[in-house]
Amino acid sequence: MKKNDSLLLLAAIGFTCLFYKQNPGLNYLLFSMIIIGLLLVFNPPKLKDKNWWYYVVLSLISSGAVVFINSGLSVFAGIVTILLLCGKTINKENSVILSFAYAVYSISSSFIYWIIDLSTVDYAHDNKRRKRQIKLFFGISISLIISLVFFFLYRGSNPLFNDLTKQINFEWLNIKVLLFTFLGFLIIYGLIKIRTIGFVSDQDKKYLKDIINIQNEAEESELKYKSIIAISLFAILNVMLLLINILDINQIFINQTLPQGITLSSFVHQAVWNIVFSIIIASLLIMWFFKDELNFNAFGNKVKFLVYAWIIQSILMIVSAIIRNYWYIQEFQLTYLRIGVFTFLLLSIIGLIHTYLKVSKRKSAWKLVSNNFETWFLILALSSCFNWDKMITNYNINHAKAGKTLDKYYLIELSNANIPELIELNNLRYSTLQIKSPRNTEPLHYKLFIANEILKTRTWQSFNLRDLENLRALSTIKFVTN
């Protein structure tokens, strides 16, 4: 076997040691470090590539968050960022969208490509030597398998030999472990040996390029017609937005009250989804209007002025929606849905900024889409560093002290990240809890019992700070079962 192939096999064994029957934790960070090391071994020039190290940092942030935060979001971000890193290792000049897609494609097709690579003769090397290495590898493997068969036969036939070797444990050597190791090998093989499709890569690079001036006289009349449509459209949009923003400023900042006959829920939700949808439609129109020669003439400059005004007014409209959502949280406490509203509004502002850069810098529509995805990946990695369940719990508990009703059932339905806060909130420290069945036990008590039982089975691979904090909090409670 080649040295690099041996490294992939060792990495697959490491994958099994880290993840077989384990929960997310330290294993995610260690696996990310293994993949980064393998990428450097297979692609040494990346050591000096600053752009590549940016994606390394994103991956380490997300996988580190699995250890420190251990949320579903951090696990998801860890998977996404490692795929993006591997894709960008091979496809530096391609968009993040295609690089990510290539990584997914490589893993899903790794078994097929592995078979193809095995059957492909490498004429650049000594074929006789390669054949000897393959024969040696399979010969040793077969010898070990046969030796194990005789080992079990001899142990069954001789009680003295069985007593001597009873401390040797082969429980780890079963078909499930071997299949899991092979699965790990295929995953690592796909991550390290990213496959690309030449035509798709070329098209992606082509559409990432800035727009150039290729106007001809025959297109001038059509261009003028398109400009009239664009000017008329965005002039109308700006007038409507101006009216909306004046009304919002008066209602939100001056009167600071809800419109008559409108509930706070409607005031928030109708605004948010309509704003996001309108921005998407208008951005698509901008991408279409500024896909060619409108970027390079006097007509285009007039449209640009109106587009810039629309972007500014749209941001003002988003700010008013943010304030509405904040009012809603103040009244009804914090939930994931309301955090999601803030996220959508933040992404809308980012999209508007990228739209401005697309128009002002004459970037292509595909470049606009790619830049948005690039920013979304960054936000995903950074957001994985926050313990949202704990933040929601602490906010709602503190908010309830100001006279608001606390929804304890919602807090119980969150993940185990808020266990210490729930124990403190319900004065359960140094208490004894009687656990009968899910139906005959308080939901919180049963949640704490199950969490305590799960923590007993944790090993070093699954270590994370959230579990450590929960274990300390749960150690103050005595559980009694019937």
Q: From residue 7, how far is each of 41, 47, 65, 188, 192 by CA, in Å?
A: 9, 19, 27, 10, 11
Q: From residue 97, how far is each of 116, 133, 212, 373 by CA, in Å?
A: 27, 40, 23, 7
Q: Which pLDDT value is given to residue 161?
A: 76
Q: Is 385 a member of any domain?
A: no
Sign of CA dihedral 243, 246, 248, 251: negative
Query: What does the angle CA 6 – CA 8 – CA 14 come to, to the nearest 5 degrees?
Result: 105
Task: Specify the pairing of strand 432-435 against strand 478-481.
Answer: parallel
Q: Which pLDDT value is given to residue 331?
A: 82
Residues 36 and 163 in one domain: yes
Q: Which pLDDT value is given to residue 136?
A: 62
Which of 3, 12, 6 is CA-nearest to residue 178?
12
Higher per-residue pLDDT: 461 or 176: 461
Q: What percent of the chain has pLDDT over 70?
A: 86
Q: Is 384 a member of any domain?
A: no
Q: Is 379 a member of any domain?
A: no
Q: How far apart are CA 263 and CA 253, in angstroms?
A: 18
SS3 category, 197: coil
Q: Is 210 a member of any domain?
A: no
Q: Which pLDDT value is given to residue 239?
A: 93
Q: Is 206 a member of any domain?
A: no
Q: Is 107 a member of any domain?
A: yes
pLDDT at 122 over 60: no
Residues 179 and 238 in one domain: no
For residue 472, the Cα-to-chain-centroid distance in whole angstroms is: 30
Per-residue pLDDT averaged across 420-440, rounded?
88
pLDDT at 120 over 80: no
Q: Which pLDDT value is given to residue 475?
A: 92
Residues 243 and 343 in one domain: yes
Q: Which domain holds residue 329?
A: 218-363
Q: Is 44 a member of any domain?
A: yes
pLDDT at 218 over 80: no
Q: How far apart are CA 383 and CA 326, in angstroms?
A: 19
Q: Which residues contact 349 (CB under 8 A, 6 or more apart)?
A: 315, 318
Residues 94 and 176 in one domain: yes
Q: Which pLDDT value is given to residue 230?
A: 85
Per-residue pLDDT averaged across 367-374, rounded?
93
DSSP bridge pairs for 434: 480
DSSP bridge pairs for 480: 434
pLDDT confidence band for 275 (50 / 70 / 90): confident
Per-residue pLDDT averaged across 446-471, rounded?
92
Q: What percent of the chain has pLDDT over 90?
A: 48
Q: Is 124 a member of any domain?
A: yes
pLDDT at 1 over 60: no
Residues 235 and 353 in one domain: yes
Residues 36 and 116 in one domain: yes
pLDDT at 232 over 60: yes
Residues 72 and 176 in one domain: yes
pLDDT at 458 over 60: yes
Residues 8 and 92 in one domain: yes
395: tokens are 């906010």
pLDDT confidence band for 309 (50 / 70 / 90): very high
For residue 354, the Cα-to-chain-centroid distance in whole angstroms is: 21
pLDDT confidence band for 62 (50 / 70 / 90): very high
pLDDT at 265 over 80: no
pTM: 0.84
Q: Which residues contact 357 (CB under 8 A, 6 or more apart)?
A: 363, 368, 371
pLDDT at 169 over 70: no
Phi, psi of 478 (to 5 degrees): -105, 125
Q: How far apart are CA 272 and CA 250, in angstroms?
A: 19
Residues 176 and 41 in one domain: yes
Q: Which pLDDT value is given to residue 41?
A: 92
Residues 91 and 229 in one domain: no
Poorest-pLDDT segment among 109-113, 141-145, 308-312: 141-145
Contact 63, 168 (CB under 8 A): no
Q: Packing angle between helix 264-289 and helix 298-332, nearest 10 degrees? A: 160
Residues 81 and 167 in one domain: yes
pLDDT at 137 over 70: no
DSSP bridge pairs for 297: none
Number of domains in the chain: 3
pLDDT confidence band for 135 (50 / 70 / 90): low
H or E segment at 264?
helix 264-289
Per-residue pLDDT averaged across 282-305, rounded?
81
| DSSP string computed for 280-347 | HHHHHHHHHHTSSGGGGSHHHHHHHHHHHHHHHHHHHHHHHHHHHHHHHHHHH---HHHHHHHHHHHH
Residues 414 and 308 in one domain: no
Higher per-residue pLDDT: 253 or 42: 42
pLDDT at 123 over 50: no
When the pLDDT of each residue in the chain is averaged and rounded to a whole number, the result is 85
Q: Which pLDDT value is given to residue 273?
A: 78
Which of 273, 407, 278, 283 is CA-nearest to residue 335?
407
Last residue of a domain, one of 345, 363, 381: 363
Q: Which pLDDT value is given to residue 152?
A: 72
105-137 CB burial, b ≥16 within 10 A, e <16: bbbeebeeebeeeeeeeeeeeeeeeeeeeeeee
